[in-house]
């Protein structure tokens, strides 16, 4: 990332450079500014998605969601593009294109394809413009430095962090990374949902309303789910998958038997009227365990009320 806060458009060298190359330089600046505003639009759209998908769970869940980190990354990349950073422009373009390819591949739908193409073209133009801008300036003045030493040292860790965020995004969306926070079907990767269905953990028509996995490398190592029809706990032991579940109409009791800590998960005890029982695991720090208990109790009360009326 080549932030150069001391070399803005009012710098004397750039003014002289503008006089020499005129339209060619202005064209680069215009495309870079378009790229900046395009990155801002992507950040705003991502922020709206973060608000919509986490509105019911409150501000803490919103800030803890993956979307929020992507918003922060887009904002930083937009700032980099504003300061004519080639790295920022390239990362923003790669992030947007790859994320949309994954989205289309997973959903099988190319919704909003016109907007996607427009954003891609604008970001691509901005990326090429940043490279051309610095190349032309170097040709005009061999001593020109796109980035000061201080800026380079400050920007390098930012680059590393942004790259890590984008790599994490790709791993999560492709199903190669286990989400560490409470998820639902809207925020859970399509790949993960398909894995749950292919493993017969959830049915083809079941909707995931709450999901948490304690797995390290795969969600199949263990997980806890509340769907629209039942509560499920599963785990893999010695390569064999065990699934425990109960319909809401059969749940006689649910409660937190042992609250978790920063290093352990809460144990939620579920018992049925037939005497069967099993445990769910959930984090406690943001009261995720209480969300599980509350939803199961509400669903169980509703299902049993409807059953009694019938």
Helix axes 86-107, 66-82, angle to 10 degrees: 140
Please give the Cα distance from 184 to 174 (Å, whole number). 16
Q: According to the model, what pLDDT value does residue 18 have? A: 47
Please give the Cα distance from 164 to 304 (Å, whole number). 47
- Is the Cα torsion angle 30, 34, 35, 36 positive or negative in sign? positive
Query: Which of 173, 201, 228 delimits the end of a domain?
Result: 173
Q: Tell me, yes or no, whether 178 lies in a domain.
A: no
Which pTM was predicted?
0.54
Instruction: Identify whether residues 145 and 248 lie together within a single domain.
Output: no
Q: According to the model, what pLDDT value does residue 62 have? A: 58
Instruction: Identify whether residues 301 and 228 lie together within a single domain.
Output: yes
Q: pLDDT 10s per residue in the chain (310 long)?
A: 444 444 444 455 555 544 455 678 889 999 999 999 999 999 998 888 777 766 666 665 556 566 777 888 888 889 889 988 888 899 899 888 887 877 776 566 667 788 989 999 999 999 999 999 888 888 777 776 666 565 566 666 766 777 777 776 666 665 556 777 778 777 777 778 888 999 999 998 999 999 999 887 788 899 999 999 999 999 999 889 999 999 999 999 999 999 988 788 999 999 999 999 999 999 888 888 999 999 999 999 999 888 777 5
Query: Which of 125, 143, 173 delimits the end of a domain?
Result: 173
Instruction: Identify whether residues 21 and 169 lie together within a single domain.
Output: yes
Question: 288 to each of 2, 21, 184, 229, 246, how far by Cα in Å?
Answer: 41, 59, 12, 20, 20
Instruction: Identify whether residues 39 and 164 lie together within a single domain.
Output: yes
- Tally the domains of the chain: 2
Q: Tell me, yes or no, whether 183 lies in a domain.
A: no
Residue pair 277/259 in contact by the 8 Å Cβ criterion:
no
Q: Tell me, yes or no, whether 3 lies in a domain.
A: no
Please give the Cα distance from 42 to 38 (Å, whole number). 6
Please give the Cα distance from 269 to 224 (Å, whole number). 12
Q: Tell me, yes or no, whether 151 lies in a domain.
A: yes
Q: According to the model, what pLDDT value does residue 155 have? A: 63
Please give the Cα distance from 175 to 283 (Å, whole number). 21
Query: Which of 173, 198, 230 delimits the end of a domain?
Result: 173
Instruction: Identify whether residues 138 and 22 lie together within a single domain.
Output: yes
Six token digits for residue 135: 């190349």
Instruction: Identify whether residues 238 and 284 lie together within a single domain.
Output: yes
CATH number at residue 214: 2.30.29.30
Six token digits for residue 158: 């930012």
Instruction: Identify whether residues 149 and 259 lie together within a single domain.
Output: no
Domain extent, residue 218, equals 190-309
Instruction: Identify whether residues 152 and 212 lie together within a single domain.
Output: no
Backbone angles phi, psi at 201, to 5 degrees: -80, -40
């Amino acid at each position: 990332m080549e932030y150069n806060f001391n070399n803005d458009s009012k710098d004397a060298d750039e003014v002289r450079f503008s006089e020499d190359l005129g339209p060619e330089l202005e064209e680069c600046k215009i495309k870079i500014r378009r790229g900046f505003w395009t990155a801002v639009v992507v950040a705003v759209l991502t922020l709206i998605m973060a608000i919509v998908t986490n509105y019911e769970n409150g501000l803490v869940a919103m800030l803890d969601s993956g979307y929020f980190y992507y918003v922060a990354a887009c904002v930083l990349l937009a700032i980099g593009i504003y300061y004519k950073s080639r790295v920022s422009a390239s990362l923003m373009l790669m992030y947007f294109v790859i994320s949309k390819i994954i989205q289309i591949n997973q959903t099988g739908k190319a919704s909003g394809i016109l907007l996607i193409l427009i954003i891609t073209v604008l970001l691509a133009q901005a990326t090429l413009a940043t490279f051309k801008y610095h190349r032309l300036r170097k040709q005009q003045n061999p001593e020109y430095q796109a980035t000061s030493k201080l800026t380079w040292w400050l920007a390098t860790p930012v680059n590393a962090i942004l790259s890590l965020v984008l790599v994490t995004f790709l791993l999560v969306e492709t199903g190669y990374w286990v989400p560490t926070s409470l998820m639902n079907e809207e925020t859970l990767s399509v790949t993960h949902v398909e894995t749950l269905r292919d493993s017969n953990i959830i049915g083809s028509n079941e909707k995931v309303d709450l999901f948490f996995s304690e797995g390290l490398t795969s969600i199949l190592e263990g997980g806890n789910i509340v769907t629209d029809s039942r509560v499920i706990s599963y785990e893999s032991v010695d390569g064999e998958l065990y699934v425990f579940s109960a319909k809401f109409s059969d749940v006689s009791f649910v409660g937190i038997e042992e609250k978790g800590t920063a290093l352990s998960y809460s144990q939620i005890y579920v018992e049925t009227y037939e005497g069967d029982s099993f445990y769910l695991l959930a984090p406690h720090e943001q009261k995720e365990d209480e969300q599980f208990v509350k939803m199961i109790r509400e669903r169980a009360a509703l299902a049993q009320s409807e059953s009694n009326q019938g």
